Amino acid sequence: MDVVRSSLHKITSKSLYRLAELVIKSQIESSVHRIPDESFADVQNFLAVLENLFYHGLRSNNILVGRKILKHPWSLILQLSNLPSFGHNSSIKLLDHLDNDFSKLRAWIKLSLVKCCLHSAMLDLVQRKSNLTNYYCQDAVFRSQEIFYIIDSLVGLQ
């Protein structure tokens, strides 16, 4: 019974890709007529889908026998911030005061949207294939070709 229950809640990469397409398209269309803020449902859906893209297919570390701890995408962003080609270091330094990695990732996504650099930041992340293989499983959205279509559609938000 537990196997059936857990498989019902698993989000496939194909469904997440389709959902991301719809939400990004809706966000672009709604932002033409008004300046969206976080109180709009479209913006909340958009942020939730972007977060799910980062969390989909994360690998886990075996710390203790029987206990798995998921790697966090924030540590991947921190790794890339040490590279001279990664031009989003100022956004990362602004988030040091936040308590946990979940809030840092969400704030970084929002800050990158405001600075109109989410497209280039995600492109930098995805182009580092060696880092992605350490953090994501083979069937993760970030390791598929569809992620490039999603990233390209983010250009319309600038």
CB 19 within 8 A of CB 49: yes
CB 154 within 8 A of CB 50: no
Residue 96, domain CATH: 1.20.58.900
- Give the Cα separation of 40 and 58 in Å (integer): 29
Range of the domain at 86: 2-157
How does pLDDT run across 13-55, given as a tens digit for each residue?
Answer: 788 878 888 887 877 777 666 665 666 667 788 888 899 899 9
Structure tokens at 147: 């992620």
* pLDDT tens for the chain, residues 1 to 158: 344 434 434 678 788 878 888 887 877 777 666 665 666 667 788 888 899 899 998 887 655 556 666 678 998 888 877 766 566 666 677 788 898 999 999 998 888 888 888 888 888 889 888 889 988 988 889 999 999 998 988 887 76
The predicted structure's pLDDT at residue 54: 92
Predicted TM-score (pTM) above 0.85? no
Total domain count, the chain:
1
DSSP 11: P
